[in-house]
Amino acid sequence: MAHEQIRLASLEGFGGISSCSCGLYHIHLPGVSVHLNEKGFDSLIQLILEAKERQDLYRLNEVELRKSHLKIVKT
């Protein structure tokens, strides 16, 4: 029996995500394919969003750190 896939998202040259009639999400990236059930897919999304949030906070803290090293001199 052939599985029917619905393309949910794709980025040319990078990969894509499909929902399959077998009940799994198929994630295809260069060099790797991952098949996850709905709970696994939701967990992956949560993991990616958390990593992005922490990266943004790290960058913000890095900018604040640079600002704290500046010495303001009035001329």
**C-beta of residue 39 within 8 angstroms of C-beta of residue 48:** no
The yes-or-no verdict on residue 42 having pLDDT over 70 is yes
Tokens of 74: 């009035």
Which structural domain, as residue segments, surrounds residue 7? 1-36
The string over 29-51, giving b where at least 16 C-beta atoms fall within 10 Å of a residue's C-beta and e elsewhere, is: eeeeeeebeeeebeeeeeeeeee
Say yes or no: 44 and 55 in one domain: yes
Q: Taking the model in full, what pTM does it have?
A: 0.70
User: Among the residues of the chain, which ranges form H helices?
Assistant: 38-68
Say yes or no: 19 and 43 in one domain: no
Q: State pLDDT tens for residues 56-66.
A: 888 877 766 66
Q: How many domains does the chain have?
A: 2
Say yes or no: 15 and 29 in one domain: yes
Say yes or no: 31 and 49 in one domain: no
Q: What is the pLDDT of residue 9?
A: 98
Q: What is the pLDDT of residue 72?
A: 64
Say yes or no: 73 and 43 in one domain: yes
Say yes or no: 74 and 51 in one domain: yes
